Structure 1
Amino acid sequence: MNPDDSLYDEQVVRPYVMTRGRTEARAKLDLISLAVTIRPATGVEMGLDPEHLKIVRLCKRPLSVAEIAAHLDLPAGTVRVLLGDLLDRGFIAVQEPQPEVDVLDERMYRAVLDGLRAL
């Protein structure tokens, strides 16, 4: 067995198996979306994997998707799918980031253009 095979198995196949082959979360979650536990998981719920339970424990205080991924040492895409599962089953709530500027505000675009012209 090639030493690189174990690295491949752990980092690619394992997340694929954790998500049962799913690559997209049912909910749109940004890296800065905050997740917080609203209902504890006892560990006897059907369909929850150890990673789901870890997320429920971690999110006793609000954490971003990026922070959860770092704590679990998993790709953000995998964490998004797992968070979607927990959201669907009512274990967590998610707060989406609020835009600081109105992207439809013409003044913002004029300010960007003026700044670029000043360069």
Structure 2
Amino acid sequence: MSDTEDGAWLDDDAGRLIRPYTVSNGRTRPSSQFDLLTLVMATGERPKTYLGPDHDQVLALCGVPLSVAEVAAHLKLPAVITKVLLSDLVTHRAVTTSAPRAILAGSPTDRHLLETVLHGLRKRL
């Protein structure tokens, strides 16, 4: 979606001018199973039919693996609506999904990383 197209659907004060359920054509249940940590990535294949500007925006975001939660945050849409959009793209083989890597039980935790995150959170509060 270009900046001019994006500007037509956003208002600085009001935010998004289209209701989320309109984006998903009133659907609230995805046809594919996702959780918020599911990773999605564009396959490079384009849907055979035009799905809409929000689907295009998802494809543009998913050039690198992103979690469903990250995609929803970038789109500023509820996660359930984002899952519906992603389901459409999975059906058209335009995105692929994978489960996040599980942390092995008993593996050491990077203490330095956790301390850095804690320090960053404390600075923001």
Name the TM-score class by shorter chain.
0.5 to 0.7
Q: Does 1:36 align with 2:41?
A: yes
Instruction: Spell out, residue by residue over 1:37-77, the C-alpha distance to the aligned partner (whole angstroms, 9 max, x if none).
Output: 002438xx524110100000100000000000111111000
Question: Which has the larger Rg?
Answer: 1
Any stretches of 5+ residues in structure 2 without a counterpart? Answer: 1-12, 106-125
Task: Report the TM-score, using the length of structure 2 for normalisation.
Answer: 0.64
Task: Report the TM-score, using the length of structure 1 for normalisation.
Answer: 0.67
Per the alignment, residue 15 of structure 1 pairs with 20
Q: CA RMSD in A?
A: 2.5
Structure with a larger share of its residues in helix: 1
User: Is this contact kept in 2: 1:87–1:93, CA < 8 A?
Assistant: yes
Any stretches of 5+ residues in structure 1 without a counterpart? Answer: 1-5, 103-119
Instruction: Spell out, residue by residue over 1:9-42, the C-alpha distance to the aligned partner (whole angstroms, 9 max, x if none).
Output: 84xx621111111111111100000000002438
User: Is this contact kept in 2: 1:39–1:90, CA < 8 A?
Assistant: no
